[in-house]
Amino acid sequence: MLHFRPRLAIAVMTTMLLASTSAFAATPANTLVMAKNIDDMISLDPAEAYELSGIEVDANIYDRIVRIDAKDPTKIDPGVAESWTVSEDGKTFTFKIRAGMKFASGDPITADDAAFSLQRVIKLDKTPAFLISQLGWTKDNVDQMVKVVDPSTLQITIAPPFSPSLVLSLLSSIVGSVVEKQTVMQHDQGGDLGNAWLKAHSAGSGSFSLRSWQANESVVLDANPNYREGEPKLKRVVIRHVPEPASQRLMIEKGDADIARDLSPDQIAGLAGNKDVAVSVSPQATLHYVGLNVAHKPLDDVRVRQALHYLVDYDGMVNSFLKGQDQVHQTFWPSGFWAALDEKEYKFDPAKAKELLTAAGYPNGLELTLDAANSSPYINIAQSIQASMAQGGVKVTIIPAEQKTLLTKYRARQHQMLLVYWGPDYMDPHTNADSFARNTDNSDNPATKPLAWRNSWLIPDISKMTEAAVEERDLAKREQDYKDLQKKVMDEGPFVIMFQEIKQTAERGNVKGFLLGPASDVVLYGETTK
């Protein structure tokens, strides 16, 4: 992992903005100061950034070829491309670049910049490259598959017969960010396509440009006067690295921060009655679930798996220690997104669970182990599951561990039950279906290792349903395909999907227009006012 060393000195204004919380009682009128844990940031190059904080910052620095609508994530909006057409065979997409659109530098955006940006992702082959390499693009063919027709026209060709809606979703992800070719190539070092420079600089056309990034300290953004939707009302955004939630709460209460992003439910509750602070709520795309390894008896019996669904006290948890932090959700595609199935089939019902266990041949119950992270809220969820399953005759032994150790065990299929989370890579249901509902090779070392494989669930027939859905061009039919898949996985699969995460954000009363979307790449600062 690459780390940046804080500089010994920064500009006087930035120093003032980043002074200790006791230095001032109110933030500058034209500046948004946000308290957030940003220790996951590694790079701000959109061809490399794959950590949540970095993706969020890039969403405000760069415009993309097309964009997810932050207010309605079921929609794809125009971005750098104002319109597009798709060939009859669904394999050629032609994008019209907006006329008169400029980068923050003032230079015009052309189809050459857009083509270079996509080609660059493939050629650099950093972590997020897989998002568009699945379109059949390689270092050898991407210059032919992604090309310029004229200065205002970009044309891409894909190899697999993917649904156009999936292709647009992929282009709306972080790798669809358009960088300024001339500026980036001026900083090329040994053929790195400007990667070393772009880690901590910007060359985009988003609502802001990067002023500075000091690792584990701050990110400072300046308003882009050339932004296509108009220059932001606020001249600057300062994201202060504040890892301790208690410190964030103190800052928001004193007025040293305009927004606090990582408060615990108890701290949120403690703000009740504070007339100067408001709390906003936004459902996220992250899911919390228990994986059931069907290689272990009795988890290979679908009746046992269904019984375990009935032994989780979903409502009890979201109404107590998870209150305001999660909502009950039981399918593999989160609520609020296109093609989501919001059906809640299971409730805590020990009698129903005992009936199913008896039918499966376990009238006297059974014993299982549950791996869980030793941090909150996971250990709390595990303890609740342990208590509720005991009421149905299932004795659960919790095996606590650090998240890193837990994930290593999960990837090696060494668990019986394991409590973990999952978030999508892009806003199309295929990103989750491809992992929850696909496994055609259950050997120890297959080419890919989706979540179904991690839980030893070999499903050739369901995998065919997933493959058909990704190729379906009729949007209504494709939507129903994914709803059918979600229902089938909920009824038969090795996943007890329980919750969808909710983010609670504390804001000073004068803050308006901050857009906290359901994923990191739809958190937008451009409409914020004070």
Report which DSSP code applies to 438: -
Strands, E assignment, 215-325: 218-223, 236-241, 259-260, 277-292
Query: Is residue 10 predicted with pLDDT exceeding 90?
Result: no
pLDDT of 376: 83
Name the pairing type of β-strands 236-241 and 31-36: parallel
Q: SS3 string of 97-115?
A: ECCCCECCCCCECCHHHHH
Percent of the chain scoring above 90 in pLDDT: 88
Report the pLDDT value the prediction gives residue 25, as an integer from 0 to 100: 55
Which among 306, 317, 238 has a CA at the least distance from the CA of 15? 238
Residue 483: how many CA atoms within 13 Å on its side-chain side?
Answer: 14
pLDDT at 36 over 50: yes
Q: Which domains does the chain have, with CATH numbers?
A: 32-247+509-524 (3.40.190.10), 284-503 (3.10.105.10)
Sign of CA dihedral 434, 436, 438, 441: positive
**Segment 26-31 mean pLDDT:** 93
Residue 274 pLDDT exceeds 90: yes
Choice between 259 and 7, residue whose per-residue pLDDT is larger: 259
The H or E element spanning position 90 is none
Whole-angstrom Cα distance, residue 290 to residue 442? 20
The H or E element that residue 233 is part of is none
pLDDT at 78 over 60: yes
Residue 274: left (phi > 0), alpha (psi -120 to 50), or beta? beta
pLDDT at 24: 43
What are the tens digits of pLDDT across the range 203-229? 999 999 999 999 999 999 999 999 999
Q: How buried is 3 (Cβ within 10 angstroms: 0-12 exposed, 13-18 middle, 19+ buried)?
A: exposed
- Provide the mean pLDDT of the chain: 93
| pLDDT value of residue 19 | 40
Share of the chain above pLDDT 70, in %: 95
Dist. CA 41–CA 162, nearest whole Å:
32
Q: Is the pLDDT of residue 6 over 70?
A: no
More reliable by pLDDT, 12 or 239:
239
Task: Report, in this order, helix, strand and coil percent for the chain, each rounded to 5.
Answer: 30, 25, 45
- The DSSP string of 461-498 is HHHHHHHHHHH---HHHHHHHHHHHHHHHHHHSSEEEE
Q: What is the pLDDT of residues 368-399, one digit of tens each?
A: 999 999 988 999 999 999 999 999 999 999 99
Tens of pLDDT along 454-479?
999 999 999 999 999 999 999 999 99
Three-class SS state of 283: strand
